[in-house]
Every structure is written in C-alpha cells, then in structure tokens.
A and B are shown apart, each in its own frame.
Chain A
C-alpha cells in the first residue's frame, strides 16, 4: 500500500490529484518560458526609449516563468481536498479520444491529395462507426447525407473553396 499523500504517489490513470497536475503544468510552462527567453536574445531587444521586437516577448516570458514557479510553490503548499481528477479514463473511452485525434490529423493530411468528398466520407464512416458505435445502416445513411449536404451548403451555396483532390470531385 502506498503511504504517499494525495497527489504524491498514485499515478495510475484516473487516480491523480490536481496538485500533481499543477506541478507538471508549472514545469512545462517554465520550460516554455525559458525557451522564449533564450530565443529572445536572438532578436533585437532595443532600449527602453525605443523597445525592439524582443522586448515584450522577453518580459512576458519572464512573467510566465515567475508565475510557473509560484504555481509550483502554491500547489506544494495546498491541502488537497477535492477528488482525484479522472484523466484519459472516462469509462475506458480515452482510446476514442486518441482515435478521434488521429482521424482529424489524418484528415488534415489527406484532404488536399484525396479531395473533400472522399476524405469526408471516410472520416464520417470512421467517426460514426468506430467512435459513435452507430449501426451500419445509420452510418452509411448519415455519412452520405452529411457529406452531400455540406458539399451543397459550402461549395455550391456559400462558394467556399474545398479541395477537389485526385478525382477532381
């Protein structure tokens, strides 16, 4: 059995307390601020009477770094009273979150070479069936209707330019 207090020991999904997350966030923000501070030195800083392009980014990054340290200290002092934060755990559906993100990334890269119509049909098929768990007939009806309606609405009615892709559809 772990003797660690809340937020200190148990790191299994769905059992982590907010103070642990806050400390992780403070470190990420501190690293980001540090990176901006370093990069600011490669951009002209100017002088106080004529500030250069690095002036504001530098001082905002310094502020962010200080706030990150403050959050680290504050989280350490905090007495954790709230329940653990469920993370990537909601009823085992976190894999659906990952798959959805993957599908969106895939769409981003495929929409131009393959075209709007085909990539949208594939995306909707995937989302309706494998994330939404809908029945096959609903999936096919839904994906065809939605693709057709969005094509008519955006491309025909609103004249939005959507990629035609390989088959020039």
Chain B
C-alpha cells in the first residue's frame, strides 16, 4: 500500500459517522479540560478510559487522542485570559498572551494561538503520516537491548526536563519503577511485594495512580490555595483575527515552532512541554527586539503554542512505531491499546491498519474541528472559565471516582486513587514531579523484561548494551543528558569559589 492509498483508507475509517462523533467529543472535551485550570489531559484520559470499553477500539483511541491535542488548544485560552496556564505546556503563553490581553489585544492573541496551533498540528500530522511507516520498518530490527536503551533514554529525558531538582526527578522515577514491580513477575510468575494481598497480585493500576497524582492531587492543592480568587479578563472579545503585522511577525515563529515541536515531541520523554519552552527561548534569541518579550510580543504566543501542538502530534511516533510511551498521556494510550487487545509497536501498522491510519487521519479532521471550536466558539470557553471553582471541583472529584471505580468495579482502585491523590498533593508541596513517577511505572516492567532478556542473550555481559550501535547511541545520549547538569553545577561551584576568592 502506498502513502496515498493509506491516507484515503484512513479517511474512510475516520469519516465513519461514529468515529467522526468520537473525534468531535474528544476535541470538545480536550478543549474544555484545557480551558479549565487544574484538570489536565492525564487525569481526563484516565477518568474517561473505562467509559471507552464499550466503544470500538478505533473510536476510543480517536477520542482519547482528540482529548490530548484538544487540551493543547484549550490551554492557551486560560493563559491569555486569566494568566493561569490551563495546561503545563501553556505556561509560557501566559508571559506574552496575558500582556496582550491587558493591552486590549486578547482577540488577536487567541486568534494567533488558534491559527498557530492549527498550522503546527497539521504539520505534525503530515510528518507523522510520512515518517511513521519508515520508522516502524526500522523498529522491527530492534531487539531487547535496543528497547532497554531507548527506555533508559526516555526516563533520562523526562528527568533532564524536570522543572526542579534532577535528584528529586531521579528519585521519583525510581519510585515509579519500584511501584511497577509489585505483583506477579512477567518471566517467572513469582509474586513480588504483595504482602499477601490478593488485590496486589495484578500490580498497582496505572489509571488510579494517574488519576490520583494528576486529578485528586491538583484539586487538593486548589482547595487549599483558594483558586476561586482568580481574576478573569472581562473585556469584550471583538476581533479575533490577527492583523497583517501580527501575521508577518508570527510567520517564522510558527514555522520554527512547528519543526522544533515535532522533533522534540518524537524524542521519548521530550514532548510538548519542552517544545513550548524551547520555542519561546529560541524566538527570544532570534528576535530583533527581545526586550518586547514578556510585554505582549505576538511571537511569544505564536511560537510556543505552535510548538506544543506539533509536539503533541510527534509524541504518537514512539507509541505507534515502537510501542514506547514518550509521556504519561502516551502511557495511558498504551494502556488503552493493550486493554483493547492491541499491541502497539512496529507491527501495529500491518496488524491493525484501521486503527493506525484511522487515528492519524482523525487528527487532520480534529485539528479543523478545533479551529472552529476555538475561534467562532471562543465565547463558550470564556463562559466556562467563569464557572466558580467551588462548583467545579466536586464534579472533577466525582468523575475521578467514577473513572477509577469503573475500571474494574473494584473499591480498592478508588482507595489507591485517594492514597495517590494525597501523595500527589504532598509531592507538589515538596516539589517532586509526578510525570517521572508515572513514566517509571509504565516503563518499569518493560525495561525489566528487556534487560533480563538482554542479559540472558549475552550470558550476563552488560557489554551487549554498548556493542550494538543503536543501543550504544541511546545509552551515550542518556549519559550525556545526565552529565550536562553535573558539569554545569560543577562550573557554577567553581565560578562561585573564584568570585569568593577575588572578593
């Protein structure tokens, strides 16, 4: 099958009325949760996962994917109008987006964010369409050592990108790995760390942990900090169309953001958050007037918003071609695929072409729907922002409870969710991030299996990880990423000592 045949096949799958409906529901819910601060795509996908069990696998994944990239669009609205990022990737959009709104330019800011997101989102889907098949062909040649090294790189990347302390991120990833080992060992069937509780034999569920860390934990923080006090931009949104000058200023940031975002999204552990930050830094560096950044520069909105949408598309590549999740959201997608009896990886394209091409092509349609939802229907989202938090949080908690319980109709899942909700709250307080824990938890068993198989293959020699070129490249990159902050830290200590001596 050639590309065009595949693309047409994908369209035939996703133009099915039910799949179109699921796509719309996905992008609508995605925009909604993107707009609402405190509910991210991880918690939402976790909550809605059990509701997809009665759907077709293609429809379910189309909807879940829609939630993810829809959230990227919605996140910018809150950043621009309320100065609170609706989604982590929209943090940098607050810097210039809110300043534009304060200067009476909220409309063009929202407009350029939506157009930039659409252009970048479409670019990433085109790139995904053409890059995924050759990558899947290469991935077939991967053995356990390559998989292990790639997963090490993925975990390292997410640690490297941690906002705070790298030691804390490493510790959180280790905790995630350890949590994944609870239950029956995949290879020997031996029971590990279950303390005799039959409910732990199947391990600790990813979904209750994700809902707890990212849903309940966030709500508890908001309850304590009284988010009800947020100030909402009240001026009338009259003109959403950016001016000719805005377009001229934004053309290159959108182009650069699309490219940077996509390639950072492809990297395991990279993703849309890094993409938006990298884009902002690059635009500031490229600008002839960097002093305008932070004062309402349209480039500061166009670049990062394009980058985070392109990154969201790029993240599907490692999942669909290698079966490795690049982020917590992709980990949940992986979980969903496995629940539906599908094994993501290089063979997905040939074994389930309807899902592979249907999901990719649904993103073209979803991006178009999002443009309509985020421009003419912007008024709706502004109204959503005005829902008082005391009314909103019980709803979020109820959806968390239903999502967690209905996963296997087991109250222990709810208990696990509440426990991890408290842990998530405490982790936020002491600045430990949840993402490395969740990714560690997902990759833990896969990494363990790959490592044990590799060692059996090599007769116990770790040399196998560096004697195979692809594996060696992944390991060396991971080591370099870990070394960078150490070298930087050492340099800083040295400079401080020199300055102290000079003083």
Interface residues of A (CB under 8 A from B): 18, 21-22, 25, 29, 32-33, 36, 39, 43-44, 47-57, 60-61, 63-64, 67-68, 70-71, 74, 85, 87-91, 93-94, 96-97, 100-101, 104-105, 107-109, 111-112, 120, 123-124, 127-128, 131-134, 138, 142, 146, 150, 154, 158-163
Contact = CB atoms under 8 A, between A and B. Distances in A.
Given A64-B178, A67-B171, A107-B414, A93 B192 contact: no
Given A51-B456, A127-B397, 10 more contacts: A67-B171, A71-B165, A71-B168, A85-B429, A93-B226, A111-B405, A131-B223, A132-B393, A162-B406, A163-B405
B127 interface: no
Contacts of B444: 56
A94 B429 CA distance: 13
A91 B165 CA distance: 28
A49 B171 contact: no
A62 B464 CA distance: 23
B188 interface: yes
B492 to A, nearest CB: 12
B98 interface: no
Contacts of A109: 411
Contacts of A158: 51, 54
A38 to B, nearest CB: 11
A56 B448 contact: yes
Interface in B40-97: 50-51, 53-54
24 contacts: A21-B430, A29-B175, A32-B178, A43-B190, A49-B456, A51-B456, A52-B188, A53-B187, A56-B181, A56-B447, A63-B170, A67-B171, A67-B174, A71-B167, A74-B167, A87-B429, A97-B223, A101-B418, A104-B414, A127-B397, A150-B402, A154-B51, A162-B405, A163-B405
B286 interface: no
A147 to B, nearest CB: 9
A127 B219 CA distance: 12
A74 B165 CA distance: 10
B14 interface: no
Contacts of B393: 127, 131-132
A94 B221 CA distance: 9
B356 interface: no
B421 interface: yes
A89 B391 CA distance: 22
Interface residues of B, number: 61
Contacts of A163: 405, 409
Contacts of A93: 223-226
B451 A51 contact: yes
Contact of B418 (A90, A105, A160): A105
A22 B432 CA distance: 10
Contact of B421 (A61, A91, A101): A101
Interface in B175-194: 175, 177-178, 181, 185, 187-188, 190, 192-193
Contact of A49 (B399, B414, B459): B459
A108 B170 contact: no
B431 interface: yes
B443 to A, nearest CB: 12
B456 A50 contact: yes
B390 A132 contact: yes
A159 B54 contact: yes
Nearest to A77: B493
A47 B192 CA distance: 18
A154 B220 CA distance: 25
B273 to A, nearest CB: 22
B192 A54 contact: yes
Contacts of B430: 18, 21-22, 25, 85
B181 A67 contact: no
A73 to B, nearest CB: 10
Interface string B451-479: 11001100110000000000000000000
Given A48-B460, A104-B418, A56 B402 contact: no
A133 B224 CA distance: 14
B425 interface: yes
Nearest to A85: B429
Contacts of B282: none
A107 B430 CA distance: 28
B315 to A, nearest CB: 26
A56 B398 CA distance: 37
Contacts of B177: 56, 60
Nearest to B54: A159
B460 A128 contact: no
A57 B181 contact: yes
Contact of B398 (A44, A57, A85, A124): A124
Contact of B432 (A25, A87, A101, A132): A25
A100 B223 contact: yes
A70 B432 CA distance: 15
A142 B391 contact: yes
A31 to B, nearest CB: 12
A108 B192 contact: no
A142 B388 CA distance: 13
B394 A132 contact: yes
A51 B399 CA distance: 42
A90 B224 contact: yes
A102 to B, nearest CB: 10
A43 B194 CA distance: 12
Interface in B420-459: 421-422, 425, 429-432, 444, 447-448, 451-452, 455-456, 459
B395 interface: yes
Contact of A53 (B185, B220, B394, B451): B185
